[in-house]
Amino acid sequence: MNLTLKIWRQENPEAKGRFEKYEISEISPDSSFLEMMDLLNEQLIKEGKDPVAYDHDCREGICGMCSLYINGRPHGPDSAVTTCQLHMRKFKDGETVTIEPWRAKPFPVLKDLIVDRSALDEIIQVGGYISVNTGGVPDANDIPIAKEKADLAMDAAACIGCGACVAACKNASAMLFVSAKVSQFALLPQGKTEAKDRVKAMVAKMDELGFGNCTNTYACEAECPKEIKVTNIARMNRQFFGAKVSG
C-alpha cells in the first residue's frame, strides 16, 4: 500500500504546531498502524529528519498508552480497538491519512502526537480506589457478590484510561472515564463505605482540571476502544445527586 500521511508536528508545549505531509510506500496491509509509523520514522531518520514522537507501549490494546486521532476519530476507523491494534487493511491504497494528537484543554501537547494525560491520574488520586491498606482484610469469600453485579463492575473496570472519550467529546468531558471507576465501586459492596465521598471528590477534581460537561452526544461510547457504556454516566449522576442531597 502507498499512503500520504498528514501529521501534526509540534516541537514542545509552547510551540505553534503545523501539519506536515509525508509519503510512504510498500506498506503491508497486515502490519499494524504503529508498525507503519515505525517504518515512517525509520525513513525520516535515514533522511536526517526528526522522527515523529508518539506514545505507545504494550501494542496489544491494554496499557492505554497509545492515542492518535486518525482521520477525525480517536484510535482511527475500526471499532473497539486501540491504535496499536488497528491494522492497515482498514485503509485504502493511495489514501491520505490525517494523524493528530488528542485535542483537549486538560491534555496539553508535549511533542508532536504526545499529550500529557496526567489529569486522569489526578482524578483517580482523589478517590478512585477503596481505601484499604495492605493486610488485615477479610477472607475473599466472606464478601459474596452476585455474579450479575460482579460482571457489570468488570465491564466498567475494563477502562484502560487512554482518554479517547475525552478526545471524542466536543466538550472534552471526562465523564465516561470517571463514571467507569465510580460505577465499578458503586456496584460492589466493598465500595459502598466511601461511595459518597468518592463521587463528590472525583467530580469536583474533574471540573477543577477543566474537563467539560456531558451533553449526551454519546461520542465517547462510540469511540471507546473497550466499549464502556454511557449507562455508567447515568449511574454516576445518580450517585452524585444522591451524595449531594444526603450530604
Partner 1 sequence: MATLDSKIPEGQLAEKWSNFIAHQNLVNPANKRKIEVIVVGTGLAGAAAAASLGEMGFKVKNFCIQDSPRRAHSIAAQGGINAAKNYPNDGDSIYRLFYDTIKGGDYRSREANVYRLAQVSNNIIDQCVAQGVPFAREYGGLLTNRSFGGALVSRTFYARGQTGQQLLLGAYGALSKEIHRGHVKMYNRREMLDLVVVDGRARGIITRNTITGEIERHSAHAVILATGGYGNVFFLSTNAMNSNGSAAWQAYKKGAAFANPCFVQIHPTCIPVHGDFQSKLTLMSESLRNDGRIWVPKKKEDAQKIQRGELKPTDIPEEDRDYYLERRYPAFGNLVPRDVASRAAKERCDAGYGVGNTGLAVYLDFKEAIGRLGRDVIEARYGNLFQMYEKIVDENPYETPMMIYPAIHYTMGGLWVDYELQTTIPGLFAAGEANFSDHGANRLGASALMQGLADGYFVIPYTVQNYLADQITVPFIKTDLPEFDEAEKGAKNKLNKLLSIKGSKTVDHFHKALGHIMWDNVGMARNKEGLEKAIKEIRSLREEFWKDVDVPGGLTGVNVELEKATRVADFLELGELMAIDALHREESSGGHFREEYQTPEGEALRNDKDFMYVAAWEYQGDDKEPLLNKEPLHYEEIEVKTRNYKDAKS
Tell me which residue of 87, 102, 74 sits closest to 221, measured CA to CA.
74
Matching residue, cell 502526537: 113
Minimum CB separation of residue 211 from partner 1 in Å reads: 16
Cα separation, 81 vs 107, in Å, equals 21
Residue from 2, 4, 20, 132 touching partner 1 (CB under 8 A): that is: 132
Give the three cell numbers for residue 64: 492505554
- 145, 193, 197, 207: which one contacts partner 1 (CB under 8 A)? 145
Least distance CB 175 / partner 1 (angstroms) = 19
CA distances, 77 to each of 59, 66, 133, 226 (Å): 17, 15, 43, 15
Separation between Cα atoms, residue 131 and residue 142, nearest integer Å: 18
Q: Is 135 in the site for partner 1 (CB under 8 A)?
A: yes
**The one among 24, 110, 195, 234 contacting partner 1 by CB under 8 A:** 110
Residue 128 near partner 1 by CB under 8 A: yes
Give the separation between CA 119 and CA 71, rounded to whole angstroms.
Answer: 25
- Contacting partner 1 within 1-20 (CB under 8 A): 11-12
Which residue number, 143 or 204, has a Cβ lying nearer to partner 1? 143
80 lies in the binding site for partner 1 (CB under 8 A): yes
| Spatial separation of the C-alpha atoms in residues 162 and 165, rounded to whole Å | 8
Q: Examine residue 25 and tell whether it contacts partner 1 (CB under 8 A).
A: no
Per-residue contact flags (x/-) with partner 1 for residues 146 to 175, judged by CB under 8 A: xx--xx-xx--xx-xx--------------
Of the residues 4, 19, 45, 193, which one makes contact with partner 1 according to CB under 8 A: 45
Point out which span in 98-106, 165-173, 181-189, 234-242 binds partner 1 (CB under 8 A).
181-189
φ, ψ of residue 65 to 5 degrees: the values are -80, -35
Minimum Å gap between C-beta 137 and partner 1 is: 4
> Which amino acid belongs to residue 242?
G
Residues 186-215 that bind partner 1 (CB under 8 A): 188, 190-191
Gap between the Cα atoms of 113 and 102, Å rounded: 8
